[in-house]
Amino acid sequence: MVAGKIHAETGHMKPFSLYTVIGGCGIAALVMGVVLPEVLPGWRWAHEPLHSTLETVGGLAAIFMGIVLLQRTAEHTKGKFIPMAGGFLGMGILEVFHAVSIPGNGFVLLRSLASFFGGLGFGLMWVSATGKTHPTIKWMPWVMTGGALAIGLWTIGFPQYLPVMVRDGAFTPTAVAPKSFASMLFFAGSLRFFLDYRTSGRSEDILFASLALMFGLAELMFTYSVIWGSRWWFWHFLRLLTYFFVLGYVGRGYLATVSELRSSLIQTQQAEQASRQSEQQLRTVLEARERLAQDLHDGVIQSTFALKLNLERCQRLIPQNPQEALTGISDVLMELKIVIQDLRRHISGLEPECLNGRQWVEEMRTLVQTVKRSQNLPFDLQIDQEAADLLTPEEATHLLYVVKESISNSVRHSHATSGTVSLQVREGTVCLEVTDDGLGFDLENTYEGVHGLNNMAARAKRLGAHFKVWSKPDRGTRILFEIAKKGSHARA
């Protein structure tokens, strides 16, 4: 992801121009390495604190780079950077040991082996770049890390066993050999990355090619330098400059990654918010649909069923009492207009008309009279006006639907001969009871009126009321609906 961004920036540069810039930097470094001893012959500056600082910063930068490369390998590079990650980790650890050691054989040995570890990581890129990573390569970062720690501890703990690395102020062949070999490995790694860049065009390949080239030149200068001399200091600064170049690349990529992650997080939060809003809208639609189904079932359908019963009664009256039949038909037509108004209100998405206590009582009387007249099924009204007045409009509307559904079930299913509708105040609650003496049913088994009773339970939940049904075969049915009312008391 990060490489893609930087590749977009370097992709417009022609290969010839890019090679010219890199080659020019390499030549300039070589020229400086040759010219400095001529300009400053015999110059020495033994400054251990500055040297320790440079090596510590370089070592930590190498360790950080190794960790970054391991992460890149885990993401998408199919193991390509595994050897180089191990090389950076081993080189960084040995450089830190080198920074804290005192000048002497161990001091030089740690620096030489650090270069060798780094060069080995770059040189092995010829193996991993084939795309067929050997199982042994996967363990290389951990082997190099463990080996570097062991070498660093051994060098500091047992200096008497170390080979001679400096004699008469000059590096011995033992000191120069690892550096020379490391220089060749760095140049080999640089060539591998240049070839990869010509194939892939990725900016990270040209970056590491340049990095390996600079490291190789630095190691080459070490071969012809003396401790604390101008060329010796120059290659230290060259290595540090190379590390800063890499860290700049990594830091830029990190900032780009953080920016993308922040944008992704914002997009995710926006998507989650939109999802919650959609979920809430869907829930609202489903709740509205459920309420509509309940109101249609308990209101319009029950009213339509009552009209059917009245029409059947009028049909029976026509031969015997035509005048009464006409009167009944007129009543049906008036009630049909009310049903049509209810249907239009539902279609328009309007809430049902809410009732007050007195309107609710009148509705109950009309409903009971209609059922008695059309079906010869008397329901005894036992309504306390005080209880009715305690009802809110929403509660009164829901209780009207409950009574309609209950009486409809009594007419259609129970074959009852009588019933009761009671509304009373009991111990701080308004209690509605609807009973009949019909066939009843088994509450454990499925029955025809289950949808209507489910609607009653849903209405109770919406109002925070208590709902209960008692019924047994041949023992009738009793429906209880209790609504708590603060400050209300039963009358003596």
Residue-wise pLDDT tens digits, 253-291: 667 777 888 888 898 888 888 888 888 887 777 766 766
Residue 345 resides in a domain: no
Residue-wise pLDDT tens digits, 445-477: 654 446 678 888 888 888 889 999 988 888 889
Residue 256 resides in a domain: yes
Are 240 and 368 contained in the same domain? no
Residue 306 resides in a domain: no
- Report helix angle 105-123 to 82-100, nearest 10: 170
Q: Of the candidates 250, 270, 290, which is a domain's last residue?
A: 270
Residue 199 resides in a domain: yes
Average pLDDT over residues 479-489: 79
Are 12 and 151 contained in the same domain? yes
Residue 438 resides in a domain: yes
Are 262 and 370 contained in the same domain? no
Are 262 and 368 contained in the same domain? no
Residue 84, pLDDT > 90, answer no
Average pLDDT over residues 214-220: 82
Domain containing 480 — which CATH number?
A: 3.30.565.10
Residue 416 resides in a domain: yes
Q: Of the candidates 246, 270, 294, which is a domain's last residue?
A: 270
Structural contact between residues 164 and 104, judged by C-beta atoms closer than 8 angstroms? no
Are 28 and 141 contained in the same domain? yes
DSSP one-letter string for 65-128: HHHHHHHHHHHTSTTTTHHHHHHHHHHHHHHHHHHHSPSSHHHHHHHHHHHHHHHHHHHTHHHH
Residue-wise pLDDT tens digits, 366-414: 888 878 877 778 899 999 988 888 988 888 888 888 888 888 888 877 7
Tally of domains in the chain = 2
Are 366 and 251 contained in the same domain? no
Domain holding 182, by residue range, is: 2-270
E strand or H helix that includes residue 219: helix 203-223
Are 137 and 239 contained in the same domain? yes
Strand segments, DSSP code E, in 105-192 are 166-167, 170-171
Q: How confident is the model at residue 2 (pLDDT cuts 50, 70, 90)?
A: very low
Average pLDDT value for the chain: 79
